[in-house]
Amino acid sequence: MDHGRFTSTIAFLLILYCFCWEFGASVDTITSSQYIKDPEDIVSAGNKFKLGFFSPVNSTNRYAAIWYSNISITTPVWVANRNMPLNDSSGIMTISEDGNLVVLNGQKEILWSSNVSTGMNDSRAQLMDDGNLVLGGSENGNSLWQSFQEPSDTYMPKMRLTANSRTGKKTLLKSWTSVSDPSIGSISGGIDPSRIPQFYIWNGSRPIWRTGPWNGQVFIGIPEMVSVYLDGFNIADEGNGTFTLSVGFANESLISNYILSSEGKFGKVLWDDTEGSWRYEWKFPKDECDVYGKCGSFGSCNPKDSPICSCLKGFEPKNADEWNNGNWTNGCVRRRELQCERTQNGGQVGKEDGFLKLERMKVPDFSEWLSSTSEHTCKNECLNINCSCIAYSYYPGFGCMLWRGNLTDLKKFPIKAADLYIRLADSELDNKKINLKVIISLTVVVGAIAIAICVFYSWRRIDRKRKSKKVFLSKRKVGYPILSDENMIQDNLNHVKLQELPLFSLQTLIAATDNFNTANKLGQGGFGPVYKVEILQGNLSDGQEIAVKRLSRSSGQGLEEFMNEVVVISKLQHRNLVRILGCCVEGEEKMLIYEYMPNKSLDAFLFDSLRKQLLDWKNRFKIVEGICRGLLYLHRDSRLRIIHRDLKASNILLDQELNPKISDFGMARIFGNHEDQANTRRVVGTYGYMSPEYAMEGRFSEKSDVFSFGVLLLETISGRKNTSFYGNEEDLSLLGYAWKLWNEGNIAALVDPGISYPSFHEEIFRCVHVGLLCVQEFAKDRPAIFTVISMLNSEIADLPTPKQPAFSERRSELDTKSLQHDQRPESINNVTVTLLSGR
Ligand SMILES: *[C@@H]1O[C@H](CO)[C@@H](O)[C@H](O)[C@H]1NC(C)=O
Ligand SMILES: *[C@@H]1O[C@H](CO)[C@@H](O)[C@H](O)[C@H]1NC(C)=O
Ligand SMILES: *[C@@H]1O[C@H](CO)[C@@H](O)[C@H](O)[C@H]1NC(C)=O
Ligand SMILES: *[C@@H]1O[C@H](CO)[C@@H](O)[C@H](O)[C@H]1NC(C)=O
Ligand SMILES: *[C@@H]1O[C@H](CO)[C@@H](O)[C@H](O)[C@H]1NC(C)=O
Ligand SMILES: *[C@@H]1O[C@H](CO)[C@@H](O)[C@H](O)[C@H]1NC(C)=O
Ligand SMILES: *[C@@H]1O[C@H](CO)[C@@H](O)[C@H](O)[C@H]1NC(C)=O
Ligand SMILES: *[C@@H]1O[C@H](CO)[C@@H](O)[C@H](O)[C@H]1NC(C)=O
Ligand SMILES: *[C@@H]1O[C@H](CO)[C@@H](O)[C@H](O)[C@H]1NC(C)=O
Ligand SMILES: *[C@@H]1O[C@H](CO)[C@@H](O)[C@H](O)[C@H]1NC(C)=O
Ligand SMILES: *[C@@H]1O[C@H](CO)[C@@H](O)[C@H](O)[C@H]1NC(C)=O
């Protein structure tokens, strides 16, 4: 292109630009020369928003404002000269000589100014497509001022509301005075970071509504927010005292925002294009009990009660007459002094104070936060602080909240919410009821013990008879170096003597398996092939089917696992654990004999497109529950504490009635009574089921089994292998996929279509929720197996919100390794991969 043509092109573009400006089209910027004069306006680049002058309903005043360009009702989302209206249409919005954005009236008086020191006279203001008006220098793109930093009554999806706990500086929404008067009203809204951050609506300086503390995931005073992501609200701690409120998942195709109305309500509005009107999606405060401090100190509000206010147990109205007349503002006072107060005042030392549990509460205002790992430590923290600590609440995954002084703004919810424990004098606690409970539980315990003793003795008698002909297998006799790996079987195993196991003769087994004919092979166990055997003659009743696991002679590796399994499983008896019937040790041959499971293993059902149809949701839930019971027995109820370490679908066997039985204890590890966690240099297990701390650092505990269980649970619901996701478009694992859908509120997409009937959805979604809790990155966040059982059975109504699971982002390095390690992904599930970690 020669020089002449270049300049003429530029000139043409300039002319075009000016031409466009003349007609007010496609210009989104104000400069000192390109100002807007009522009734002109400018439009953002994507035609989403307009900046111009408008009059509110029933008013002739003119205001400079931003509104949606594409909807039929002029809805201002930001107003400039709120307190200085124009009374005619002479208004001008321009850049002043000091570089500020200003609104001038006909007399060139400044009605409003962005009022920042710019140090330049050539700045420009640009209207963005998200509704933000940005004042910046023409040279550099730095913004000097933004309308988002000075919001009106509307919170836009891309906005950030900040508050600094050190400087006390806050960005607040400020309501209009009325619908026809945009001047700054008495209502404001924003976050208060002085304690645990939460969102408030204030009338002047008086709070009129609050969300309850932000627990890092949700506002715990809005129970609706626990299960449904309320548009992905988030409060981020910037680390310098600044907290930032933002909204996560704004659907670009919908026109919506959040409004703080002049009546003191904050809500989400959606533009309904077909109706041509705005409608509220939700709005707070919702009922009378949401009104801040409705029932005064120590009063609790329940919208279902009449009257709605009542004093907490152990408290009485401060002024009974007023209270009974419905004036609750004075609140309630404690009826009986706390013991700690009495002792401080030199009074009699009585019984210690106790705590009363109040369920489903909006926790009071003015909480203090302590990091704490259990409800018990939270309680102790409260007791350790002197008398001034009068209540605590432990929120799983968040920690401990304490209260001193008074309890203000309590509400009782009809649904799941936090549990609040209030401190009361012993005499206020319902001891009679407790005693009754104690009596009942004592009776139950004594009864159970008596039954257990009876059962034990009758079992002993039967057992003795059965074993009269059996040969004993002791570790010395067979001479295996089973204690060679210190990490595998530690000292405490010494206390565990090998138990007597019925012995089968090799001859019988060879005959029954047709010399271990592959036709009889059932599958591959942890250390060798498994055969189905029909015993025709032998120690067992004729015709009984058994399964034989044979230590494969080709690899020397299985020996430890073999002996480990003998040791572990011979100690265990539970309907959800596979039962060992005996063993066979002759010459080179080592075999274990189990009860035969006609329905093979869970993976044979779940991951088979035809057979999975046989497993309806009821069956799957029964299986999940059974696995849980088996695990609970391993972790808690058996005499030994056992970590399975290799829980996976192929290790869950199914009997005739599809009852699950956990099998393969080759990796299992016995824990001492006071041990909670152990390390191993030898990480054994199966990729996809291993918890991060185990896979990467070799640390394992009950919680690593819980992790594997979580994966198993999600596999059972989705009908897909964790590993089946490798190489998909987004490179997410099952966990990542589940997490993504959870965040999108689209759990239904995870569910195996074969079981996804609406009537089961509630239960299935609950299981997904529990599954996600089990696969959380940090072991401490995962529930213990007994909690999992309560959660599955809905005994625990309010599930905590799960944190992001492990391995949920793009495939981790470890996963990649596993794929290289074994190029056949379909076999990963069957073969136990042993990996020597590099430590
Ligand atoms: C506007 O004024 C009319 C007549 O006074 C009244 O009926 C209407 O409710 C007003 N609108 C609003 C939004 O206040
Ligand atoms: C404006 O609204 C119409 C329908 O009301 C829609 O089809 C169109 O895409 C919208 N334009 C923009 C830029 O949002
Ligand atoms: C409009 O306001 C100006 C001052 O801002 C005042 O001088 C003028 O009289 C007002 N006009 C009317 C019609 O109220
Ligand atoms: C501009 O800001 C200064 C302090 O930053 C304040 O004193 C002044 O009143 C403001 N002026 C207007 C018109 O808001
Ligand atoms: C901006 O200021 C410079 C010097 O301070 C002056 O030369 C220039 O004319 C001014 N521009 C405008 C648009 O006022
Ligand atoms: C705090 O940090 C954030 C982000 O790092 C920053 O935007 C903000 O200006 C900081 N605030 C203060 C008061 O330092
Ligand atoms: C956004 O909303 C539209 C209209 O309701 C819906 O079809 C679409 O799926 C939504 N997108 C997302 C990501 O939720
Ligand atoms: C705010 O407080 C004022 C004065 O106390 C009262 O008149 C007004 O009704 C209150 N507004 C709301 C929305 O509560
Ligand atoms: C309620 O009681 C307080 C304090 O005694 C009093 O100031 C207030 O006026 C009373 N409110 C009503 C509605 O009676
Ligand atoms: C209780 O401890 C707090 C500080 O932890 C202290 O401020 C308060 O005075 C103490 N109260 C009593 C009654 O000792
Ligand atoms: C309750 O306690 C908070 C903080 O300790 C205090 O600001 C508030 O005034 C108290 N309210 C009453 C009614 O005592």
Using 50, 70 and 90 to split pLDDT, how confident is the model at 477? Answer: very low
Distance of alpha carbon 128 from alpha carbon 628, whole angstroms: 54
Cα dihedral 702, 705, 706, 709, rounded to 10, equals -160
Helices (H) and strands (E) in the chain, counts: 18, 46
pLDDT(356) > 90: yes
> What tokens does 754 get?
């074969």
9-55 pLDDT, tens digit per residue, is: 555 554 445 444 444 445 899 988 899 998 999 999 999 999 999 99
Q: In whole angstroms, what is the distance from residue 658 CA to residue 619 CA? A: 7
How many Cα atoms within 13 Å fall on the side-chain side of residue 213? 25
| Helical (H) or strand (E) element with 243 | strand 242-247
Give the model's pLDDT for residue 190: 96
Task: Enumerate the H helices of 320-414 as residue ranges.
Answer: 320-324, 339-344, 375-384
In this structure, the answer to whether residues 380 and 391 fall within a common structural domain is yes
Domain boundary among 286, 310, 341: 286
Q: Whose CA is nearest to atom 4 of ligand 1?
A: 58
| Pair 524, 549 in one domain | yes
Which atom from ligand 1 is nearest to the alpha carbon of 178?
Answer: 14
Give residue 254's pLDDT band: very low, low, confident or very high (50, 70, 90).
confident
Model confidence at 713: pLDDT above 80: yes
How far is Cα 125 from Cα 805, in angstroms, rounded to an integer? Answer: 44
CB 297 near ligand 11, within 6 Å: yes
Same domain, 506 and 642: no
pTM of the model: 0.60
Beta pairing partners, 795: none
Looking at the structure of the chain, the number of domains it has is 6
CA 106 to ligand 7 centroid distance, Å: 46
Residues 331 and 398 in one domain: yes
- Tell me the pLDDT of the chain averaged across its residues: 79
360, 417 in Cβ contact below 8 A?
Answer: yes
Question: By percentage, how much of the chain surpasses pLDDT 90?
Answer: 36
Cα angle at 153 between 150 and 154, to 5 degrees? 85
* pLDDT bracket for residue 459 (50, 70, 90): low
pLDDT digits (tens, 9 = 90+) for 195-248: 899 999 999 999 999 999 988 777 888 877 653 345 668 888 888 889 999 886
For the Cβ of 385 lying below 6 angstroms from any atom of ligand 10, the answer is: yes
Residue with the larger pLDDT of the pair 381 and 557: 381
User: Of 199-208, 614-623, 690-699, which range is least confident?
Assistant: 690-699
Q: What would the mean pLDDT of 476-486 be, rounded to a whole number?
A: 28
pLDDT tens digit sequence for 541-590: 456 678 888 776 655 556 667 777 777 777 778 889 988 888 887 777 77
The pLDDT score that the predictor gives to residue 82 is: 95
Residue 6 lies inside a defined structural domain of this protein: no
Distance CA 245, CA 616 (A): 43
Task: State the greatest distance between any 2 C-alpha atoms of the chain, in Å, as a whole number.
Answer: 114
Which residues are paired to 170 by β-bridges?
163
DSSP-assigned letter for residue 384: H
Q: Could you list the active site residues?
A: 646
**pLDDT classification of 316: cutoffs 50, 70, 90:** very high
Closest C-alpha to ligand 3, atom 1: 87
63/70 Cα distance (integer angstroms): 19
Give residues (CB < 6 A) around ligand 5: 32, 121-122
Name the residue with the closest Cα to ligand 11, atom 5: 405
Residue identifier of the C-alpha nearest atom 8 of ligand 10: 388
Any ligand 11 atom below 6 A from CB of 408: yes
Strands (DSSP E) found in 89-241: 92-95, 101-104, 110-113, 124-127, 133-136, 143-146, 154-155, 161-164, 173-178, 181-192, 198-203, 206-210, 233-237
CA of 193 to the centre of ligand 3 (A): 43
> Helix, strand or coil for residue 40?
coil
- Cβ-based neighbours of 410, under 8 Å, separated by 6 or more: 295, 299, 300, 301, 312, 361, 362, 363, 364, 420
Cβ contacts of 719 within 8 Å, gap of 6 or more: 606, 607, 612, 752, 754, 755
Protein residue whose Cα sits closest to atom 7 of ligand 10 = 388
Amino acid (one-letter) located at 785: I
At residue 768, what are phi and psi to the nearest 5 degrees?
A: -60, -45
Nearest to 650 by CA among 827, 415, 455, 411: 827
Q: Same structural domain for residues 459 and 577?
A: no
List all residues 6 or more positions away from 737 whose beta carbon is below 8 Å from its beta carbon: 725, 730, 750
Q: For ligand 4, is residue 83 a contact (CB within 6 Å)? A: no
Is the Cβ–Cβ distance between 685 and 646 less than 8 Å? Answer: yes
Rounded to the nearest angstrom, the distance between the alpha carbon of 177 and the centre of ligand 4 is: 22
78-132 pLDDT per residue, tens: 999 999 999 999 999 999 988 899 999 999 999 999 998 877 778 889 999 999 9
Write out pLDDT tens, residues 630-684: 998 888 766 678 888 889 998 899 888 889 999 888 777 777 656 667 766 566 6
Same domain, 497 and 624: no
User: Do 48 and 142 fall within a single domain?
Assistant: yes
Q: Has residue 1 been placed in a domain?
A: no
Asked, for residue 788, whether it belongs to a domain, the answer is yes
The residue range of the domain holding 250 is: 154-286
Of 130, 149, 168, which one is at a domain's C-terminal end? 149
- Please tell me the residue having the least CA distance from ligand 4 atom 12: 115
Q: What is the pLDDT of residue 597?
A: 82
Q: What separation in Å is there between the alpha carbon of 169 and the centre of ligand 4? A: 16
- CA 569 to CA 559: how far, in whole Å? 15
Q: Is the pLDDT of residue 434 over 70?
A: no
Rounded Cα–Cα distance for residues 781 and 441 (Å): 30
Q: How far is CA 457 from the centre of its chain?
A: 47
d(CA 397, CA 701): 19
Greater model confidence, 813 or 545: 545
Tell me: do 652 and 701 sit in the same domain. yes
C-beta of 292 in contact with ligand 11 (< 6 A): no
Most confident stretch, 476-480, 678-682, 777-781: 777-781
pLDDT at 833: 32
Residue 717 φ/ψ region, left for φ over 0, alpha for ψ in the -120 to 50 degree band, beta for the rest: alpha
Q: Does residue 291 belong to any structural domain of this protein?
A: no
Choose which residue among 164, 242, 244 to substitute to test ligand 6 binding: the one with the highest number of ligand atoms within 8 A of its C-beta.
242
Q: For 216-227, how does the pLDDT look when each residue is reduced to its tens digit (9 = 90+)?
A: 777 888 877 653
Query: Residue 837 has what pLDDT?
Result: 28
Return the pLDDT at 472. Answer: 30
Residues 6+ apart with CB under 8 A from 522: 529, 530, 531, 532, 547, 600
For the chain, give percent helix, strand, coil, nearest 5. Answer: 30, 25, 45
Q: What percent of the chain is modeled with pLDDT above 70?
A: 75
Q: Return the pLDDT at 642.
A: 86
pLDDT confidence of residue 500: 60
The band of 299, judged by pLDDT with boundaries at 50, 70 and 90, is very high
| 648 and 511 in a common domain | no
Q: Last residue of some domain: 544, 567, 596?
A: 596
Angle at 179 between CA 178 and CA 183, to 5 degrees: 50
Examine the domain organization and report whether 350 and 446 are in the same domain.
no
Is residue 2 domain-resident?
Answer: no
Select the more confidently predicted residue: 15 or 274: 274
Helix runs in 47-135, H state only? none
- What's the pLDDT band for 522 if we cut at 50, 70, 90? low
- Interval between CA 195 and ligand 11 midpoint (Å): 14
The two structure tokens encoding residue 322? 């007023």
The whole-number pLDDT of residue 9 equals: 54
CATH of the domain at 487: 3.30.200.20
Residue 675: count other Cβ atoms within 10 Å of its Cβ: 14
Is residue 474 a part of any domain in this protein? yes
Question: Where does residue 658 fall: left (phi above 0), alpha (psi -120 to 50 degrees), or beta otherwise?
Answer: left
Cis peptide before 414 (omega within 30 of 0): no
> Tokens representing 225?
């927010």
The residue whose CA has the least distance to atom 2 of ligand 4 is 115
CA distances in angstroms from 69 to 152, 359, 405, listed in the order given: 18, 48, 52
Q: How many whole angstroms from 113 Cα to the centroid of ligand 4?
A: 9
**Neighbouring C-beta atoms of residue 484, cutoff 10 Å:** 10
Q: Are 447 and 441 in contact (CB under 8 A)?
A: no
Q: Is residue 12 part of a domain?
A: no
Tell me whether residue 9 is in a domain: no
| pLDDT for 803 beyond 60 | yes
Distance 397 CA to ligand 3 centre (A): 60
Q: Return the best residue to mutate from 322, 325, 328 for the ligand 9 pocket (most ligand atoms within 8 A of CB).
A: 322
**Using 50, 70 and 90 to split pLDDT, how confident is the model at 826?**
very low
- Spatial CA neighbour of 247 closest among 266, 262, 261: 266
Does residue 345 share a domain with residue 360? yes
The pLDDT of residue 513? 72
Query: Which string of b and e fits 696-727 if b means at least 16 CB within 10 Å?
Result: bebbbbbbbbbbbbbbbbbbbbbbbbbbbbbe
Do 591 and 471 reside in the same domain of the chain? Answer: no
d(CA 247, CA 161): 10
Distance of CA 259 to the CA centre of its chain: 28
Mean pLDDT, residues 492-518 taken together: 63
CATH number of the domain bearing residue 829: 1.10.510.10
